[in-house]
């Protein structure tokens, strides 16, 4: 939303817009002037309220569904509400207690901590929650070991920069020997080890071919396997909890639209890209078509990255209808993410294998 949009709204329009959003979040119904007349903070006539509502609709902040006299917030209206009108949510004692249980947990793996936090977020907000381990675009293979199997087979063992161990079997048409395996291992460690996928350029591949001499043809299938393995390591992870909670909201009564939304979370790629590409370290609120995920026009995502020493280790978030209780959701996500970072700061987990995708999570 443009800054110009903010300056166009008078204080009265802001109060009316806030009252409409607050009411619509609670019951999902269009809000009319009669309801707003009960708001003691407005203290204006019904005619004035109707005029202001009409102007807010003309400006794009409200919409009028069907022939109803009431209005509902538009995507622009929600965005303005989140950016400028939202009030701080005061957590209850039980909510604070539930969030602080994380600090007392004995979990020692990042995946466990993120999953536990996301489930707490879902339980406290009654929306669908998720956790993400983002793509690691800087991953590289720090060491290669090539094991001779037989005259047409090799075993390629790769140890990634984040501690994962991946083993791939390679079938080769040409005849090879133990010496081929030894030479290939040396060449890969000399020319490919330590490079990200983007850094393995054609000149690098040509150096690998040159180092392999009369076995240069082996370079092409080997590089293909290395790229595939790096993609596996870069893929990130997305786990969702409480997807059935979406069924409570009329916004998801269209079975086809709900199926498409569920499909986006099952495929993971679009959601991972959306969260992994964020530059913001705070709580991110993505409303409707602001998302690159096409099937989210009626939904909103609220998430916060978990960061340690400038590195994004993961994220927790909530998905729900556009009329979600943003104040409460933002407060819960903020509190939980802060507690996760506190756990990391108070332990030596970051130095362990689990936080960066340790060997116990490796593919084989």
| Average pLDDT over all residues of the chain | 86
Whether residue 240 is found in the same domain as residue 344 = yes
> d(Cα 130, Cα 47) in Å, to the nearest integer?
45
Residue 224 reports pLDDT greater than 60: yes
Residue 2 lies in a domain: no
Say if residue 165 is in the same domain as residue 225.
yes
Which pLDDT band holds residue 235 (cuts at 50, 70, 90)?
low
* Residue 322 pLDDT greater than 90, yes or no: yes
pLDDT of residue 103: 79
Q: Which helix (H) or strand (E) holds 300?
A: strand 299-308
pLDDT bin (cut points 50, 70, 90) of residue 356 is very low
285: pLDDT confidence band, cut at 50, 70 and 90?
very high
More confident residue, 352 or 267: 267
Q: Judge whether residue 18 has pLDDT over 90.
A: yes
Among 97-111, 305-319, 344-358, the least confident range: 344-358
Residue 305 structural domain: 93-135+236-361
For residue 353, what are the CA distances in angstroms to 164, 250, 285, 313?
9, 44, 31, 13
Query: 271 pLDDT exceeds 90?
Result: no
Average pLDDT estimate for 188-209: 90
SS3 per-residue string spanning 301-355: EEEEEEEECCEEEEEEEEEEECCCCHHHHHHHHHHHHHHHHHHHHHCCHHHCCCC
Interval 35-87: pLDDT, tens: 898 876 788 888 999 999 999 999 999 999 876 678 999 999 999 999 999 99
254 phi and psi, to 5 degrees?
-75, 110
Task: Find the mean pLDDT for residues 152-162.
Answer: 87
CATH number, domain of 209, equals 3.30.390.60
Residue 3 included in any domain: no
Structure tokens at 23: 């009411």
Q: What is the mean pLDDT of residues 203-207?
A: 92
Report the CATH number at residue 283: 3.30.450.40
How many domains would you assign to the chain? 3
Residues 64 and 114 reside in one and the same domain: no
CATH of the domain at 34: 1.10.10.10
Q: Are residues 294 and 336 in the same domain?
A: yes
As a whole number, mean pLDDT of residues 254-266 equals 88
């Amino acid at each position: 939303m443009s800054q110009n949009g903010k300056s166009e709204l008078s204080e009265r329009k802001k109060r009316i817009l806030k009252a409409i959003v607050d009411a619509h979040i609670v019951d999902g119904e269009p809000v009319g002037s009669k309801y707003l007349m009960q708001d003691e903070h407005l203290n204006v006539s019904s005619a004035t309220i109707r005029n202001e509502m009409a102007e807010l609709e003309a400006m794009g902040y409200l919409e009028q569904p069907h022939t109803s006299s009431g209005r509902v917030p538009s995507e622009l209206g929600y965005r303005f509400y989140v950016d400028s009108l939202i009030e701080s949510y005061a957590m209850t004692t039980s909510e604070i207690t539930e969030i602080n249980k994380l600090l007392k947990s004995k979990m020692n793996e990042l995946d466990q901590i993120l999953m536990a936090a996301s489930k707490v977020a879902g339980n406290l907000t009654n929306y669908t929650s998720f956790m993400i381990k983002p793509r690691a675009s800087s991953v590289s293979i720090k060491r290669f070991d090539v094991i001779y199997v037989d005259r047409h087979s090799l075993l390629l063992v790769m140890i990634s920069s984040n501690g994962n161990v991946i083993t791939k079997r390679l079938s080769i048409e040409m005849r090879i020997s133990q010496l081929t395996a030894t030479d290939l291992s040396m060449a890969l460690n000399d020319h490919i080890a330590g490079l990200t996928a983007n850094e393995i350029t054609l000149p690098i591949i040509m150096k690998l071919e040159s180092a392999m001499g009369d076995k240069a043809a082996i370079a092409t299938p080997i590089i293909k396997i290395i790229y595939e393995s790096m993609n596996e390591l870069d893929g990130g992870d997305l786990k969702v909890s409480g997807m059935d909670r979406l069924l409570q909201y009329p916004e998801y009564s269209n079975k086809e639209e709900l199926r498409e939304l569920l499909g986006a979370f099952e495929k993971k790629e679009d959601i991972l890209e959306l969260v992994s590409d964020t530059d913001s370290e705070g709580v991110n609120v993505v409303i409707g078509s602001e998302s690159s995920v096409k099937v989210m026009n009626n939904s909103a995502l609220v998430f916060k990255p978990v960061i340690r020493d400038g590195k994004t280790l993961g994220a927790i978030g909530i998905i729900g209808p556009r009329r979600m209780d943003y104040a409460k959701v933002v407060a819960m996500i903020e509190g939980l993410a802060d507690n996760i970072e506190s756990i990391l700061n108070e332990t030596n987990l970051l130095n362990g294998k689990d936080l960066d995708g340790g060997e116990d999570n490796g593919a084989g």
